[in-house]
Structure 1
Amino acid sequence: MTNVQRSMLSSTLNLTASGLKDVGKHPLVVQLMKGIYQGKPPIPKYSATWDPSVVINHFVSTARRNMSLIQLARKTVTLLALATLLRCSELNSIQLDSVSFSATKVFFNLGVLRKSQRSGPLMRYSLDEWENPLICPVACLRSYLERTANLRSSLNNSGVFIGSNKPHNPVTGSTIGRWIKDQLKEAGIDTSIFSAHSTRGAAASIAASAGVPIQTILNQGHWASESTFSKFYRRETSTNQNLIESAVLMDSSSD
């Protein structure tokens, strides 16, 4: 935030007695902003994260042949969020006419620039199909599009996701977020703490722990640097954080 404030000062208060000057780089301003930062540094929203395997195992254990449309929608957006690290607004921007399936993959385009993307083309994604259709985002997306094909018209055929009830209007990113949050809650995740946006940190953290190259994770999550990812998103699960405590207490109880 302090960098934003410095930029604001530079763009609005750039006139001094000696003429134009970059006020944001003035030593007194730099010192002031540093003091503000140190006095109230940014605090990460979460100190720990949740384990995505809890949600995945929930999908396996509660598999239904005949899911309602809203159940299928929640499952699809949750799996896509975990697999792609996309934000709710970005998931909502996936263009229906860009979705194509091959024998083993799905391809699709976003309809908006990513949050930190300033230029360049709209991003295109691909996901591999998994053997187990119960936890496969590709299989879920295919099923969702088949289920909604007869519900579409010229009013709702631009984006992938539409309302589950008549008149099946296009949904917003907030609706996608509510679907994900409802799905997390059903799976046992504490949604009084974790929001739909937490899928990014949870999925990226477990990928990093599994040995996925950091640069691959940064590219997929569209994070500018490893420090941003580490400071605000990468977290141990609460289970892993408690391993030392458990080991200590178990060792003590054996005395």
Structure 2
Amino acid sequence: MIAVFLALKHFLQDLSGHHVLIRTDNTTVVSYINHQGGLRSRLLCNLASHILLWAQGKLLSVKAAYILGHLNVGADALSRQSARPGEWKLHTEVVELIWKTYGRAQVDLFATEESTQCPLWYSLEHPAPLGLDAMLQTWPRLLLYAFPPVSLLPGVLEKVCQERVDLILVPPYWPTRIWFADLISLFHGSPMELPLRQDLLSQAGGTILHPRPEMWKLWAWPLRGQGSYSFVETILQSRDPSTRKLYMYKWKLFATWCGQRNMDPVQSPISFVLQFLQEKFSEGLTPSTLKVYIAAISAYHNPVGGSSVGRDPLVICFLRGALRLRPAVRTKTLTWDLAIVLQGLAEAPFEPIEEVSDTFLTLKTVFLSAISSLKRTGDLEAMSVAPSCLEFAPGMIKAFLHTRPGHITLEAFCPPPFINPDQERRNLLCPVRALDAYVHRAALWRKTDQLFVCYGSPRRGGPASKQRMSKWVVEAISLAYKAVGHPCPLAICAHSTRGMAASKALMSGVSLDDICGAAGWSSQHTFIRFYNLDVNYTPGALVLQDNSQAFEDTA
């Protein structure tokens, strides 16, 4: 009853001097208005009388009529103060223009009985002629149509590529979004910009219109799941595949969080983003992890005020506050000693290298590659055995590994011929020797050009992820300690190999510029602030070449 009164007052300027018919799905309201009151509820009787007295002199008459609840979807949605995100329907005239250009689609992948544009459709609710949730189904070999929520676009494009179907997709024209490169790789024909009109997007049978359809910049794209454009691979390299995978995972978490609050994640206000970040911060996440969430949200979110979410002043202030409340703690010492690890790698079960198991050969090669190159496991993941990416110098004195975007050079450690048995023993720690043995051994089970591959079932021969290689580095350190009879150190971090190697190289007289160049750091400040360790009093003081004396002392 109060909603009826507020609606009459709000639209009084348009209703004044007219006969007014109120349509509601509440039979009690209909009865009290038409009978000018009632006997069962004094409150409702007073409200009905108040409405009728207020309408005198303003409206010619007031009458109420009952409407079935399932037909009153527009008012129901507006009473919740927001339309349902992802449920917008294109105007039928615009859809007919799409059919005229690309052909009439037979299946709508994301629809309801009320919003479908095709005779067959998938839906999240019944009825669903082809099944529930299109993302879990095998799509038919027909011309498909999809106007999905923006948060589902990466998954839709991936499924188009995997199932090799023909699809008319209607996404926003946002070329800076992370999924746009995939869209370009799949389009087959010419995309079409949809004509802008006030009723372009609607819900509830056209009773709710989108307030700002121009912000979407909708285009229709004919896609085919078999791209054939030479420039596609270049575009896809704008972001590393692992970065895209990480961003998609973080975005899905944010999209799920928004969905639980009936909010469109693509258009969510900054206040929602900050609330999400605050919840993650309260769960114990560090500011650096929050930065990853912000980068992922910025990659998918609609620009706010002409700029990305990450450049919003409030988001920047939030990160500064989070860093003050939870400052990063940088350790200056490590729990493991390089000299002990190198001693362990020169003994069983890591030697003799021609007879060790695939497991120990892999662990030793990955560790020596990481410690001698100053690279992250993500850089090791990018290494390849392709002829253009891996090259051994004559005499096995060097190995050149070309990766994106630069290259890695591994220097041999005491290569043959050996002058004395001491040199032969130190050569057991040579990364080039280990790499050569690994490449020839792994060729027996390799299924990919990636340098480091899994050695155990069921992924034997498949590419090893950077997370798996990080575990290998930690395992190599632990097993090396065990090999020399020392207890395994605690809290080992694979990333610590960069700080350890760089700090020991600095002690041996290598210039900061050379260290930063090898590690890929843009400035010396990065090394000084994040990677410089106190290694003055550790048993080992040099890296590989200059570690021989420390190695002899601990042997």
TM-score of the aligned structures, taking structure 2 as reference length = 0.35
| 1:1-255 aligned within 5 A | 14=305, 24=313, 37-44=323-330, 46-49=331-334, 50-62=336-348, 64-65=351-352, 66-97=355-386, 98-103=389-394, 104-110=397-403, 113=404, 122-131=405-414, 132-152=426-446, 156-166=447-457, 167-188=460-481, 192-237=490-535, 239-240=537-538
CA distance in 1, matches of 2:477, 2:322: 37
CA distance in 1, matches of 2:321, 2:465: 40
Structure (1 or 2) with the greater helix fraction = 1
In the TM superposition, what whole-angstrom CA distance separates every residue of 1:194-219 from its partner, at most 9, and x where no partner exists? Answer: 21111111111111122210111111
Unaligned runs of 5+ in 1: 16-21, 114-121, 241-255
CA distance in 1, matches of 2:509, 2:427: 25
CA distance in 1, matches of 2:319, 2:443: 54
SS in 2 for 1:126: strand
The one-letter amino acid paired with 1:41 is P
Aligned residues of 1:178 and 1:196 also touching (Cα < 8 A)? yes
1:101 to partner: Cα distance:
0.8
Aligned residues of 2:500 and 2:533 also touching (Cα < 8 A)? yes
Aligned residues of 2:453 and 2:461 also touching (Cα < 8 A)? yes
SS in 2 for 1:195: coil
CA distance in 2, matches of 1:102, 1:209: 28
Provide closer, same or farther for how the CA distance between residues 35 and 108 of structure 1 changes in structure 2, counting only shifts above 3 A: closer
CA distance in 2, matches of 1:71, 1:157: 21
Q: CA RMSD in A?
A: 3.1
TM-score of the aligned structures, taking structure 1 as reference length = 0.72
SS in 2 for 1:100: strand
The one-letter amino acid paired with 2:384 is Q
Moved more, 76-85 or 61-70: 61-70
The one-letter amino acid paired with 1:48 is T
Aligned residues of 2:369 and 2:410 also touching (Cα < 8 A)? no
Provide closer, same or farther for how the CA distance between residues 141 and 33 of structure 1 changes in structure 2, counting only shifts above 3 A: closer
CA distance in 1, matches of 2:451, 2:321: 47
Moved more, 226-235 or 188-197: 188-197
Q: How many residues end up aligned between the 2 structures?
A: 215
CA distance in 2, matches of 1:96, 1:139: 15
SS in 2 for 1:236: coil
CA distance in 2, matches of 1:146, 1:139: 11
In the TM superposition, what whole-angstrom CA distance separates every residue of 1:85-127 from its partner, at most 9, and x where no partner exists? Answer: 11112112101111111122111112xx4xxxxxxxx211222
Provide closer, same or farther for how the CA distance between residues 51 and 211 of structure 1 changes in structure 2, counting only shifts above 3 A: farther
Tell which structure's C-alpha radius of gyration is larger. 2
SS in 2 for 1:211: coil
SS in 1 for 2:400: strand
CA distance in 2, matches of 1:84, 1:175: 18
Provide closer, same or farther for how the CA distance between residues 23 and 183 of structure 1 changes in structure 2, counting only shifts above 3 A: closer
Provide closer, same or farther for how the CA distance between residues 168 and 38 of structure 1 changes in structure 2, counting only shifts above 3 A: closer
